[in-house]
Amino acid sequence: MSVTNSTNKTLQDGDGVTVAFDFSFKIFKETDLRVYKITKETGETGDPLVLNTDYTVTINKVGDGGTVTFTVAPTVDEQAGIYRVIDITQPANIPVDTEYVEKTIENALDRACMIDQQLQEQVDRAVKTPTFSNITDVIFDTPQDGKATYWEVEDNVATLKNCETNPDDLVEEVDSIRDDCEDLKDDCSDLKDKCEGIKGEISDLVNAALGVIPEEEDLTYWARNDEGDLVNMPLKSFEAYNTPFITNAGAEHQKVIIKGPVFALLELQDLTKKYYIQKNNVTLDVVSALDTGSALTAGKDYYIYLCWDSVNEVFEWKVSLNSTYPADYDEYTSRKLGGFHTLCVGVTAANAPQADHPAAGYDAGDIIPNSVWAYNFKANGGNAGKAYVDVLRKWCFIYNNSGTGSLTGSVYGATRTHTRTYHDFVEDLFTVSSEMIGQDEFSVCMDMSNYKTAVAGAAQPSPDTTGGHSDTAGKRMISKYFIEEGCGLQWQFTKGLIGGGGSGWSAPDGSGNKGQQYGSAYVVLAGGRWADGGYTGPRCRFFNSASSASYASDGGRGLSCHVEF
């Protein structure tokens, strides 16, 4: 039977069930086939399967072809590859010495086999595509000297084309790039050194952001101009950077604004430095930032901290009653940058001492707006219990003095200090870096306080504590600067003495241990006491009190200088 089929291979998809696959080309025996399981995704064939182990072959008795039956069905990811391979030999041996020209036929067949073998030798040395490749035609461009080649495949035709670029040119280009990289490496090393230098300068920039003037007088300094840009300016013309960089939030009585840009530095215990950079203003809800509790306490000093959360590796703002560092942080992971005082007792439109009083609408626990201080905007001797009086550029004690000596302070709910001489009050305040309030300063600080009324009951309060009192008209005793009980509770010593003439020596403090005075000396008292309800007010004065006198109805109030940066 002649060879009537022009193909010698077949490729069929597996489904994981079918084991029998037909082929249509002629073979003489089972070993004339090579059978594969081919991976669809990669086209990998692997080694040929083993006849009678991995598959069996049935040859059609009538017509060409037959069936290959797999022991294990090809999966859906495989194809059955069946390929005819005939040994290039001539096994036929036609008998001779007959009437049939046996020798001639055998020689012809042998010659054909030899030609096949000769062609096969050439084919073996030729470029070939994989057996089951979909490429049916391979074309080569005419070779060009010094050009690289690349494959271009379109449909079933693969063409080996010449590149436009000479490989040697590419090598030169790569070498040039390598040289450039080496130069860049050197530049990076120089840049690293510059960065180290900049790191050293950041500390100065941080201090600039916080309003700290460096000790070296000849340094230039960073500040913010009217447009909000950072500029470098001579130290002699420096004004506090972004002063103040923490302010009250206006109508939002329990928020503060942290003005940007802000730069700050935290140096952790392991000497790791963490730099905080804030470009724009941030409104901080102080209640949500509390380290403990869920509400602000009335009449208390709170402190604002920038903290480093080492667990989440982020900065966060914290507000705390603790004056050293907030809960869950320490001296290394936090930096105190400001604070504020809260109103002790609320003020309404009905109980405000004057119409349109600035304190009206503030509840107990709200932030006293002019008590907000920052690292670059603060009072000498600390800001506890103090409010800023802008026209004086000084900080006034919110409450009448409590405590003596180094314990002198402005504290809500503390026992009012009284029955001490003027000189004792002066020395108490000097101990805490403050001074006695002056007459003119008193008028300013107590503006819009209650007028011509005394403290409720028109008598010494019991208990005689500071802050939150109302007067005989049911009005809060508070000034426009949120200063408590300036008028109608006690006479308040004012700074300076008035000479009254006279003769002889006397002990102004009762003991004379610190020196005596010749003649009479008087101190001016301001505001009015509980027994003088018809005369009290910011301009109320008493000019007939000896400096050596001490009464329960006389007391003092401190005033602190504003720290100039």
Report the 3 state secondary structure along 130-156.
Answer: CCCCCCCEEEECCCCCCCCEEEEEECC
* 173: in domain: no
Q: What are phi and psi of 175, to 5 degrees?
A: -60, -40
Residue pLDDT, tens place only, 59-77: 998 888 999 999 999 999 9
* Domain closes at, from 124, 153, 180: 124
The SS3 of residue 187 is: helix
* 291: in domain: no
For residue 489, how many C-alpha atoms fall within 13 Å in the half-sphere facing its CB?
30
Give the residue-averaged pLDDT of 304-316. 93
Name the pLDDT band for 3 (thresholds 50, 70, 90): low
Does the structure show a pLDDT above 50 at 237? Answer: no
The pLDDT value recorded for residue 217 is 36
* 207: in domain: no
Residue 518's DSSP bridge partners are: 505
> In this predicted model, which residue has the larger pLDDT, 304 or 177?
304
The pLDDT value recorded for residue 224 is 47
The domain spanning residue 470 has which CATH number?
3.90.1580.10
Residue pLDDT, tens place only, 15-62: 999 999 999 988 888 998 999 999 988 888 889 999 999 999 999 988
Nearest-angstrom CA–CA distance, 100 and 108: 14
* Domain closes at, from 124, 159, 175: 124
Cβ-Cβ contacts under 8 Å for 93 (sequence gap 6 or more): 106
Buried b (16+ CB within 10 A) or exposed e, 78-101: bbbbbbbeeeeebeeeeeeeeeee
Cβ-Cβ contacts under 8 Å for 118 (sequence gap 6 or more): none
Residue percentage of the chain with pLDDT more than 90? 56
* Domain closes at, from 103, 124, 145: 124
- The count of domains in the chain is 2
Q: Is the peptide bond before 234 cis (omega within 30 degrees of 0)?
A: no
Give the residue-averaged pLDDT of 517-544. 94
* 104: in domain: yes
Residue pLDDT, tens place only, 366-424: 999 999 999 888 999 999 999 999 999 999 999 999 999 999 999 999 999 999 999 99
Name the pLDDT band for 539 (thresholds 50, 70, 90): very high
Residue pLDDT, tens place only, 257-285: 998 777 777 888 988 888 887 878 899 99
The pLDDT value recorded for residue 235 is 39
* 299: in domain: no
Name the pLDDT band for 118 (thresholds 50, 70, 90): low
> In this predicted model, which residue has the larger pLDDT, 396 or 1?
396
Q: How much is the mean pLDDT over the chain?
A: 86
The SS3 of residue 185 is: helix
> In this predicted model, which residue has the larger pLDDT, 239 or 185?
185
Nearest-angstrom CA–CA distance, 193 and 345: 58
259: tokens are: 């003005």
The bridge status of strand 517-518 relative to strand 505-506 is antiparallel
* 230: in domain: no
> In this predicted model, which residue has the larger pLDDT, 454 or 100?
454
Enclosing domain of residue 481: 379-565
* 276: in domain: no
The pLDDT value recorded for residue 203 is 53
Where is average pLDDT lowest: 318-322, 361-365, 398-402, 500-504? 500-504
The pLDDT value recorded for residue 520 is 85
Nearest-angstrom CA–CA distance, 487 and 142: 109
Distances (CA, A) of 185 to 171, 176, 177, 199, 385: 21, 14, 12, 21, 58
Q: Is-contact 221 233, C-beta < 8 A?
A: yes
Q: Is-contact 256 284, C-beta < 8 A?
A: yes
* 333: in domain: no
Q: Is the peptide bond before 244 cis (omega within 30 degrees of 0)?
A: yes
> In this predicted model, which residue has the larger pLDDT, 88 or 16?
16
